[in-house]
Amino acid sequence: MSATAIQLKTAAIDVPEYDAVVIGAGFGGMYALHTLREQGLKVRLFDEATGVGGTWYWNRYPGARVDYPGGPFYCYTFSEDLIREFDWPEKQPDQPTVLRYLNFVADRLDLRRDIELATRVTGAAFEEGVQRWEIETSKGTRVRAQFLVCAVGALSAAHVPDIPGVASFKGECYHTGRWPNDRQVVFKGKRVGIIGTGSSGIQSTPMVAREASHLTVFQRTPQYSVPAGNTPTDQVLVAEARKDWSKFRNIMLTTPIGAPDMPTTIRACDHTPEQRRETYEAAWRIGGLGPILVSTYCDILTDRQSNDWLAGFVREKIRAVVKNPETARKLLPSYLIATKRQVMDEGYYETFNRENVNLVDLREDPIIEIAADGVRTESGHHSLDMLIFATGFDAITGALQNINPRGRGGVPLSTRWKERFNSWLGLTIPGMPNLFMIHGPESPCVLYNMPLGAERQSDWIRECILHMRKHGIGAIEPAPGADLVWAKEVEEIANQSLYPQTESWYTGSNIAGKHRQFAVHLGGPAYFARIRESADNGYEGFVTEPERRAATA
Ligand code: NA7
């Protein structure tokens, strides 16, 4: 129990009380803690991990890197001091660097005194009489708070598919999203299998192949991957950014995904085939997601023809790199490019030219079972010493569903989200008063610069809480029907893009039984203007209750 905790006098058992409890010590939770505490609120943050970092704590698999926008732009933007004081060595920082940064921030902002690590939140229930959340932890402790800020991570509920025999493997077994933090995983001299070819599988494949005696990649859906083109950080750009940070930040606040560059306005059909090839080639040489997706043509994700031209170009590149034509054929993707999470790599396709690597195409040769010593597919047995699941996450909603908070009337989230992932503004959930989400469903979350998005949502949450305190409001929640209005808006924007046309974790199709819903608000700056507008209009779309008792003693 913290010395700063206020004891709730009315309760039969003394339960420490805070103004706000934050769940999750990643980018979102750490900033929420900081900004609420700056306003004098008593805040407690819980995280299951033994260190801060959230996603960057768990995803320490080999090759894990920031994709885009990287370097000094994938970090907290609110403080010029933080921008000046941390040096990013590379344009696309690796996981150890991002984790080092988050630890630096935790120390620099003195956050640790209010963070309780190795403590999972196991449940939360809203007590209507006192307008407080009661929160239970894995340590058997309980705390109360008026506000519950869920910064639980959009990519934190690791998913292991239900393959027959999955628990029977006797060799070393890892999930990329739960990589061990207490030891170095050694691949040398081992026969390794990787299941999954999303970002994590594609980033780790070249690294594992260099060490392992043999690597088998089990691929269900071939992916389009582009060269990362990682370089040392551009020091001239960093100096410029440090000199006039507000100028850079203001640009980031207005661009569609919170990046420091304005996207092109040229459509693919504005160019001749020769010009298009030159444009794609130039972007391919630079590498990274920005040059290919944002700087080539503006309609890649809205126009099928434009999408197809770029996809054809990437398929050509795959054929040119991979020497074995049969392997190249298996690696050729066919879905609409970039409508699954776009991947970048450091020598992924080249890896299949190595003698010690083979590809199993699970569409032609499905897994029958996982055995004690390997994976059996229709065509035969693959003996393995190590099995790596790069099979992704129950994305965007899974982590909060695992906590399954109980809101008004004791109704759990599992009931509230039975049909669809309802929210108002992607920040609040019907029937869950005083519960706020960072990077929740129907917010820009995974398709926006995540540290910046977390800051902007946390700022909104802070202003909402201050407004409530100022006006004697004890509880706030979405008005009846507000979620339907929001769902329509999210869907209308999504349908202007090609995203919903592909099965992906954006639509929930990677998890058996999960309902299909494109769960990302694609509005970018328009989203943040929209939530601002609600606040400016006296928290339009919400209903409130007056405070029933003094907030804290
Ligand atoms: P992803 O992008 O969800 O990728 C998971 C991969 O695992 C993907 O290739 C899946 O194939 C595959 N998968 C999932 N279930 C199975 C089964 N049952 N059998 C075979 N293959 C399977 O997760 P990542 O961790 O790679 O990426 C998330 C990252 O995005 C995050 O860490 C950030 O870097 C950005 P599918 O495509 O579903 O056919």
**Digit-coded pLDDT (tens) for 501-511:** 999 999 999 99
Q: Report pLDDT digits (tens) over 122-173.
A: 999 999 999 999 999 999 999 999 999 999 999 999 999 999 999 999 999 9
**pLDDT score at 261:** 86
Q: What value does the mean pLDDT take over residues 191-210?
A: 98
Closest-CA residue, ligand 1 atom 35, reads: 199
**pLDDT score at 13:** 63
Closest-CA residue, ligand 1 atom 20, reads: 220
Q: How far apart are the C-alpha atoms of 380 and 105, rounded to whole Å?
A: 50
Residue ranges with strand state E in 362-417: 367-371, 374-377, 380-383, 386-389
Q: How far apart are the C-alpha atoms of 522 and 535, rounded to whole Å?
A: 20
- CA distance to 12, 276, 301, 501, 507, per residue, from 442 (Å): 39, 34, 19, 17, 11
Tell whether the model's pLDDT for residue 7 goes beyond 90: no
- Position in ligand 1 atom list of the atom nearest CA 176: 25
> pTM (2 decimals)?
0.95
Task: Tell me, using a 6 A CB cutoff, whether residue 63 lines ligand 1.
Answer: no
In contact, 439 and 423? CB cutoff 8 Å? no
* Token digits of residue 516: 């299909």
Q: Report pLDDT digits (tens) over 310-368.
A: 999 999 999 999 999 999 999 999 999 999 999 999 999 999 999 999 999 999 999 99
Residue 376 phi, psi (nearest 5): -105, 120
Q: Is 421 exposed, middle or buried (0-12, 13-18, 19+ CB in 10 A)?
A: buried
200: CA distance to ligand 1 center in Å?
Answer: 7
Tell whether the model's pLDDT for residue 89 goes beyond 60: yes
Among residues 112, 358, 58, the alpha carbon closest in space to that of 214 is found at: 358
Q: Is 37 exposed, middle or buried (0-12, 13-18, 19+ CB in 10 A)?
A: buried
**pLDDT score at 70:** 75
**pLDDT score at 72:** 86
Give the domain ranges of the chain.
Answer: 3-52+111-157+395-546
Q: Report pLDDT digits (tens) over 237-282.
A: 999 999 999 999 999 999 999 999 889 999 999 999 999 999 999 9
- The CA R_g of the chain, rounded to the nearest whole Å, is 24
**pLDDT score at 68:** 73
Tell whether the model's pLDDT for residue 9 goes beyond 50: no
* pLDDT more than 90, % of the chain: 95
Task: Tell me, using a 6 A CB cutoff, whether residue 193 lines ligand 1.
Answer: no
Task: Tell me, using a 6 A CB cutoff, whether residue 201 lines ligand 1.
Answer: yes
Task: Tell me, using a 6 A CB cutoff, whether residue 77 lines ligand 1.
Answer: no
- CA distance to 13, 226, 288, per residue, from 285 (Å): 64, 10, 9
90: CA distance to ligand 1 center in Å?
Answer: 26
**pLDDT score at 550:** 53
| CATH fold for the domain made of 3-52+111-157+395-546 | FAD/NAD(P)-binding domain (3.50.50)
Tell whether the model's pLDDT for residue 466 goes beyond 90: yes
* pLDDT more than 70, % of the chain: 97
- CA distance to 165, 174, 214, 274, per residue, from 366 (Å): 14, 21, 20, 41
Tell whether the model's pLDDT for residue 3 goes beyond 50: no
* Token digits of residue 391: 């099979």
Q: What value does the mean pLDDT take over residues 510-514?
A: 94
Task: Tell me, using a 6 A CB cutoff, whether residue 453 lines ligand 1.
Answer: no
- Position in ligand 1 atom list of the atom nearest CA 221: 39
Q: Report pLDDT digits (tens) over 353-409.
A: 999 999 999 999 999 999 999 999 999 999 999 999 999 999 999 999 999 999 999
**pLDDT score at 552:** 46
221: CA distance to ligand 1 center in Å?
Answer: 9
Q: How far apart are the C-alpha atoms of 328 and 11, rounded to whole Å?
A: 66
**Average pLDDT across the chain, whole number:** 95
Question: Which helix (H) or strand (E) segment is 463 a member of?
Answer: helix 450-470
Q: How far apart are the C-alpha atoms of 3 and 132, rounded to whole Å?
A: 20
366: CA distance to ligand 1 center in Å?
Answer: 16
**3-state SS, residue 448:** coil
- Whether a cis peptide bond, with omega within 30° of 0, leads into 69 is yes
Q: How far apart are the C-alpha atoms of 487 and 507, rounded to whole Å?
A: 14
Q: What value does the mean pLDDT take over residues 181-206?
A: 97
**pLDDT score at 420:** 95
